[in-house]
Structure formats: structure tokens, C-alpha cells
Amino acid sequence: MNKICATITAKTSDEMIACLHDLEKDHDFFELRFDTLKNITPEAIKIVVQAKTTSVIATVRTQVEGGNFAGSADEYFQLARACYASRAEYVDVELSALNKDSALKDIIEPERTIISYHNFEQTPSDKELQQILVQMNNASTEAIHKIACNAETMQDVVRLTDLQKAQPKGKSIIIAMGERGQILRLLGLSLGAFTSFASADNSPAAPGQMYYRDMKKVTSLMESK
């Protein structure tokens, strides 16, 4: 896709829809963080997605992966199914959830799926990162694979950058979280990432996430050189 994805968080579905309508004209596309809603239901997901006029990623981020959703595996399953039924262009499904609930594999549509892994504490070893990719491939070789890890050192950033470069173009999103990792967020698209995430309202949804308008300016300057 080669576009920057702006992450939208909101407390209510009306607030999320209002934010969408306010930003759609000058943003590439969006990640809708449904886990930030105070009352997340399949119906709320349907209402928000039906109101959009541009492409979106529907995400229900669990607390284990750094989000707000604290429900059961069955509740996660029902919400994931609602995301697919809503006809969002892409649906984020966590690798940890897939490993816990085999029924999730029966509902995912590979060409619309982003299988994600998040580690807010550290960047695993190269061997462990490869094992994570193997698990993702076992779940679906057609899905987009997202790995986001906290970069404690610049060496972590280098390792994650090398990992991005080694992936098939447009089939992965490798993120180095934290301020050190902002360089990979900026370079990701040029290295073949499916997208790079930014904050829609200058309130980062993840460590090191940049403001969309700032990120767009920098990447545009980089592309013009």
C-alpha cells in the first residue's frame, strides 16, 4: 500500500466517527483502535466502519499486547468476527490470540488479515524473531505480518531494520518502538513495509509513534531526494 496509517483512538463510537470524518480528506488511511471504546460491541464496530469513506484497519488490542481490551478469548473471537463482517479492509488479529484459540483460524480471511505481535519490554533475539515469523506463516502465509518491539538499544533498531529488509515487499510491518526506533518508522515504507503507523491527533498510541502530519512531511522530503 505504501501509505502512512493514522491510528484513531476514541471513547465512544460517535467520537471515532467524528474523528474519521474530520481527517479522511487529508490522511491516507486509518487504524481504528476499537479497544479504546468504553463500550466495545460488535454493533459499535459495524456502525463505525459503515461510516467510513476510506480504507481502515480494524483493531481490538488486548491488554497483553499493550491495549485496553481485557475480555475473554470468546469475547475477542466475537469482536474479531464482527471486524471481518463489518467489511473493514484489514483486520488485526494477534498472534497470541491465534495460538490460544484455534477457532480464530477458521474465520480469518488471509488477504484481509494482519497478524500481529507486540513486545513492549524488549526486542527478542534474532532466533526468537524468526520463530515468531514461522508461527505467523503457519497461521497464514498470505496475511501481512506485523512485529512491534521495544528497542532498548540502537543495535535492536538495526536488527529490526534488517528484519524488515529481509521480508517480501508489502507483506510485513516491522516496528522498533520507542524514540530510538523512530528512524525505522520513517524508513519502513522505503524498505518494503506494508505501512507505517502514526498518531492521528498527536497522542501516540504506542511508544515512539509520530504525529501523522509531521511524519508525512518528513517521508515526503525523503522521497523527493
CA atoms within 13 A on the CB side of 148: 25
Instruction: Give the CATH number of domain 3-224; options: 1.20.81.30, 3.30.420.10, 3.20.20.70, 3.30.830.10.
Output: 3.20.20.70
Confidence bin at 26 (pLDDT 50/70/90): confident
Note if 165 is an active site residue: no
Catalytic residue among 27, 52, 145, 146: 146
Residue 1 has pLDDT above 60, yes or no: no
Question: Under DSSP, is residue 114 helix (H, G, I), strand (E, B) or coil?
Answer: strand
Mean pLDDT along residues 120-134? 97
For the stretch 153-188, pLDDT in tens is 999 999 999 999 999 999 999 999 999 999 999 999
Identity at 181, one-letter amino acid code: G
Query: Which of the residues 118, 145, 216, 217 is marked catalytic?
Result: 118
Q: Is 118 a catalytic residue?
A: yes
For the chain, give the number of residues. Answer: 225
Weakest mean pLDDT among 11-20, 47-56, 179-188, 199-208:
199-208
Note the pLDDT tens digit of each residue in 12-24. Answer: 999 999 999 999 9
Report whether pLDDT(222) > 80. Answer: no
